[in-house]
């Protein structure tokens, strides 16, 4: 299907959600194919739903003429370079895995190994938050002001939890029986936080990053790969 084909959401059958109608077309397409969607409403929520359906393989941007929105989207193929949000999502997954390992070590009584894993996790999460606050949040401040403000507030809360966890790790081993509780609370906070970021902000960041022709993506990758102090 060529990108000249326009799926007009005004023709969505009565009683069928627009996302369902659009997905019925997208699921018949393959990697490397493109499509245009005309939407009478802001497509941000629609595209978040389609991204979930399509396992986050869509690259898209929208333009408006004041009457509606024309969304041009592309389905990435397996050989195409990772986008900014793919890199961030993988880092989310890596941090989640570190947190699970930390909990497993604590529950298994491997205290020294647990502290080492928690320290590595702490560095990775703080670096990730700094990237999002310093590099990415300003890019979406205008188009996604409310979720950006929420993200910053949640980041502050997460940093407070990290400080508390570091205090527990610095205490004598016999005083650290509550570490699993702290890590469990942080895991719950991160799960909700990452979902909101990926749903509400990732597409705005991806669109902003596309303007820099890879400069922003390279800087994010450089920071994420920098060794712990």
> Is 3.30.110.40 the CATH number for 6-75?
yes
Residue 139 is predicted with a pLDDT of: 80
CATH topology of domain 84-225: 1.20.120
Q: Please count the CA atoms within 13 angstroms of the CA of 100 that sit on its side-chain side.
A: 7
Q: What is the mean pLDDT of each run of 10 residues along the chain (229 residues)?
A: 75 93 93 92 87 81 87 79 79 89 89 91 95 89 80 96 93 74 93 90 81 76 78
The DSSP code sequence of 38-79 is EESS--HHHHHHHHHHTTT-EEEEEEE-SS-EEEEEEE--TT
Render pLDDT for 39-50 as a digit per residue (tens, 0 to 9). 999 888 898 889
Render pLDDT for 111-124 as a digit per residue (tens, 0 to 9). 889 999 999 999 99
Structure tokens given for 143? 């188009």
Residue 4 is predicted with a pLDDT of: 59
Q: Which residue intervals of the chain bear CATH 3.30.110.40?
A: 6-75
Residue 73 near residue 33, CB atoms below 8 Å: no
58-64 β-sheet, strand order: 6-8, 34-39, 69-75, 58-64
């Amino acid at each position: 299907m060529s990108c000249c084909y326009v799926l007009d959401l005004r023709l969505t059958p009565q009683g069928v959600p627009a996302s369902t109608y659009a997905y019925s077309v997208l699921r018949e397409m393959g990697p490397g194919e493109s499509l245009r969607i005309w939407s009478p409403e802001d497509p941000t929520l629609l595209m978040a739903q389609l991204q979930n359906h399509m396992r986050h393989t869509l690259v898209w941007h929208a333009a408006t003429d004041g009457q509606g929105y024309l969304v041009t989207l592309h389905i990435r193929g397996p050989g195409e370079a990772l986008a900014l949000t793919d890199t961030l999502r993988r880092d989310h997954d890596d941090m989640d895995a570190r947190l699970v390992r930390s909990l497993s070590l604590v529950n298994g009584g491997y205290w020294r190994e647990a502290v080492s894993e928690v320290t590595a996790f702490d560095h990775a999460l703080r670096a990730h938050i700094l990237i999002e606050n310093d590099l990415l949040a300003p890019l979406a401040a205008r188009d996604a002001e409310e979720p950006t403000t929420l993200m910053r507030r949640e980041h502050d809360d997460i940093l407070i939890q990290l400080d508390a966890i570091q205090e527990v790790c610095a205490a004598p081993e016999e005083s650290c029986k509550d570490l699993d509780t702290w890590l469990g609370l942080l895991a719950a906070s991160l799960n909700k936080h990452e979902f909101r970021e990926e749903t509400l902000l990732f597409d705005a960041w991806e669109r902003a990053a596309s303007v820099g022709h890879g400069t922003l993506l390279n800087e994010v990758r450089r920071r994420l790969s920098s060794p712990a102090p």
